Chain A
Amino acid sequence: QLQLQESGPGLVKPSETLSLTCTVSGGSISSANYYWAWIRQPPGKGLDWIGSIFYSGSTDYNPSLKSRATISVDTSKNQFSLKLSSVTAADTALYYCAREYLVGATSAFFDIWGQGTMVTVSS
C-alpha cells in the first residue's frame, strides 16, 4: 500500500532554510487524482497546512507562509520537498507529508500521512 516517509535535518539554525523531503512508495506521485501536502504541528498546538503540490508542479500555499515556503516535486524519484526560509523558533514543529485527495476546488482531505519528522530551530 502507499506509504510516505519524511526525511531531513532535525535541527536548523535561526535564519537558515529548513529542507525536508517526502518519499512516496507503493504508488506513483504522478496521479491525476491527488495533490501532495506538507502539514506541521508545533509542540502543544494543532495542525497547520503549509502547502500542496500537483505532480505537474502546480502549487498552493498557506498565505501566512507563502513568502517563505517553496514546495517542489521530483517525479523521477517519486519525491516532493519543502523548503522554508528564514526560520525562527516559531517554525519548530513536527512536520508531516500527506496525500491530498482533491474532491473539488474547495474540498480536499488528507487520506494518507507520513509518520512525521521533528524539526527544531535553535542555535
Chain B
Amino acid sequence: QSVLTQPPSVSGAPGQRVTISCTGSSSNIGAGYDVHWYQHLPRTAPKLLIFGNSNRPSGVPDRFSGSKSGTSASLAITGLQAEDEADYYCQSYDNSLSGWVFGGGTKLTVL
C-alpha cells in the first residue's frame, strides 16, 4: 500500500487529454511538500517528467503539465501519442515517515 495513491490505469485515444491523480494526506502533499512526476517506459530507466509540482525539465514536451491542490496533485497529458504509453509515478516527501515516498504508479494505455 503506497503512501501516495494513484489510479492503477488510465487510457485515452491518440490526440486526447488524460489526467493522472496522486492523492496524499496531511503528512505529505497536504503539508505543502513538492510533488514530482516520472515516466517509466518498459526496460528503460525512469525519466523525470515534472519537478516542483509544475516545472518541466529541458526536453520534456509542453504536452505534459503538473498541478497541485490541497492533498492531491495531477499530471495532465494533452495530444496523447502512442509513445506516451508508459507507467507514471508521483513522488513527494512524507514527514511522518521522514523520507521520500512514491505513488503506486499508473499505467497509461494509448488506445
Residues of A at the B interface (CB closer than 8 Å) are: 37, 45-49, 52, 60-63, 96, 98, 101, 103, 106-111, 113-116
Contacts and interface: CB of A to CB of B under 8 A. Distances in A.
B103 interface: yes
B33 A107 contact: yes
A14 B98 CA distance: 29
Interface in B55-111: 57, 89, 91, 93, 95, 97-105
Given A103-B34, A107-B33, A110-B38, A47 B97 contact: no
30 contacts: A45-B104, A46-B103, A47-B38, A47-B91, A47-B102, A48-B102, A49-B99, A49-B100, A49-B101, A49-B102, A52-B100, A62-B97, A63-B97, A101-B51, A106-B33, A107-B52, A107-B93, A108-B100, A109-B34, A109-B36, A109-B48, A109-B51, A109-B52, A109-B91, A110-B36, A111-B57, A113-B47, A114-B45, A115-B44, A115-B45
Given A96-B45, A106-B33, A62 B99 contact: yes
Range of interface residues on B (Cβ < 8 Å)? 20 to 34
Contacts of A52: 100
B68 to A, nearest CB: 12
